[in-house]
Amino acid sequence: MQPTFSSSRILQPVQPWFIFFSLIGAVALNFMPTAHWPGVPDWVALVLCFWCIREFRRVGMGWAFVLGLLMDVADGAVLGQHCFAYVLLAYTASALSRRILWFPLVQQALQVLPLLIATQLLQALMRLAVGADFPGWGYFIGPIVATLLWIPATFILLLPQYRPVEQDPNRPI
């Protein structure tokens, strides 16, 4: 019998404050001085993609636009570069969410990889369109690292939603 990576535990509804603080934490990680090193993932894209897949009714293109605008201002990038890429990421992740959630975590990561690569590629193309230099091939290692981090990120971001293993006999649910 093959081991499965899905949990049989029932998840509680996600708290809106947790979504907000996880997205703000991702923005803070993108503000770090190491964020532009080759191989460092775009944390906002990873967490935004996660929440657009898991909670597509709460997190969508509006959040993506605001976070993209914040990242454009913080990076001093072309205004709209992150906005456009994040909005397309949020739309695509929301549209594919029901399909992606049917897969085990490893296959979910493989489904998310093209979304993250397309986000990075779109940002690079927008930079090149306004005359910036090619960022180098190391720029595209970040989505691969983010894909490898999909499984631990899923466990960390779902941790507050897990119900306790011990059940109260007086409360069946």
pTM here? 0.86
- What is the H or E stretch that residue 173 is in? none
- CA-CA distance, 156 to 131, in Å (whole number)? 39
Amino acid at 68: G
Asked if residues 46 and 150 have their Cβ atoms less than 8 Å apart, the reply is yes
Domain-wise residue ranges, the chain: 16-132+139-158
Give the bridge partners for 11, in sequence order: 162
- For residue 11, give the 3-state DSSP assignment: strand
| 111 closest CA partner among 155, 143, 67 | 143
Look at the block and give the residue holding tokens 């993209």.
68
**What angle in degrees, to the nearest 10, is found between the helix axes of 43-54 and 150-158?**
60
Question: Over its length of 173 residues, how does the chain's per-residue pLDDT go in tens digits?
Answer: 444 455 566 777 888 899 999 999 999 999 998 877 888 899 999 999 999 999 999 999 999 999 999 999 988 877 888 999 999 999 999 999 999 999 999 999 999 999 999 999 999 999 899 888 888 888 889 999 999 999 999 999 998 887 666 666 776 65
Show Cβ contacts of residue 48 under 8 Å, excluding neighbours closer than 6 positions.
Answer: 23, 26, 59, 63, 64, 67, 86, 89, 90, 93
Buried b (16+ CB within 10 A) or exposed e, 136-154: eeebbbbbeebbeebeebb
- For residue 162, give the 3-state DSSP assignment: strand
Sign of CA dihedral 115, 121, 124, 125: negative
